[in-house]
């Protein structure tokens, strides 16, 4: 005779006060537990590299100002340009250099921004290089 033979065949107990737990809720009890929720994301964020903004020499700033003036003088044609600029990172110091292209709608002197026809705004002080492409009309973009 076994040690538990006296209780092994008894009916399963059901509480008169509490409703039986669903299988889904019962299974949830045994789901893996992450004590450090978000820790992996924090480690990934810390490991993500950013670039530092390059301080431009006066000669390059002068060339950029000339190119911006050319865009300004031809703004009615909505010139097609490629601009490489520094985009600051939202989460940590530094950022990255981004190349965008499109038709320029206007230059906002007050906020010092170049505004594209798709409403993308690039701060003039963050521009690294400008390439004015005259052969691509707005209708083909």
**Strand 95-108 relative to strand 80-88, pairing:** antiparallel
First-to-last CA distance in the chain?
A: 87
- pLDDT reading at 136 higher than 90: no
Q: What is the pLDDT of residue 27?
A: 82
Phi, psi of 100 (to 5 degrees): -130, 155
Tell me the mean pLDDT in the region 82-99: 91
**Which tokens is 53 given?**
């903004």
pLDDT classification of 16: cutoffs 50, 70, 90:
confident
Tell me the mean pLDDT in the region 52-59: 92
The sheet carrying 113-116 orders its strands as 121-123, 113-116, 95-108, 80-88, 127-133
What is the pTM assigned to this prediction? Answer: 0.64
Structural domains of the chain sorted by starting position, each given as residue range(s) with its CATH number in brackets: 58-140 (2.30.30)
């Amino acid at each position: 005779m076994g040690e538990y033979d006296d209780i092994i065949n008894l009916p399963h107990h059901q509480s008169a006060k509490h409703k039986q737990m669903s299988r889904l809720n019962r299974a949830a009890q045994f789901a893996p537990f992450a004590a450090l929720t978000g820790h992996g994301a924090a480690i990934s964020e810390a490991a993500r590299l950013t670039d530092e903004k390059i301080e431009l020499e006066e000669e390059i700033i002068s060339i950029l100002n000339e190119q911006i003036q050319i865009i300004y003088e031809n703004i009615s044609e909505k010139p097609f340009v490629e601009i490489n600029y520094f985009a600051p990172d939202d989460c940590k110091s530094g950022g990255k250099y981004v190349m965008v292209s499109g038709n320029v709608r206007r230059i906002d002197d007050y906020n010092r921004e170049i505004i594209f026809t798709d409403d993308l705004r690039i701060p003039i002080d963050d521009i690294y290089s400008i390439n004015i492409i005259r052969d691509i009309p707005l209708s083909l973009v």
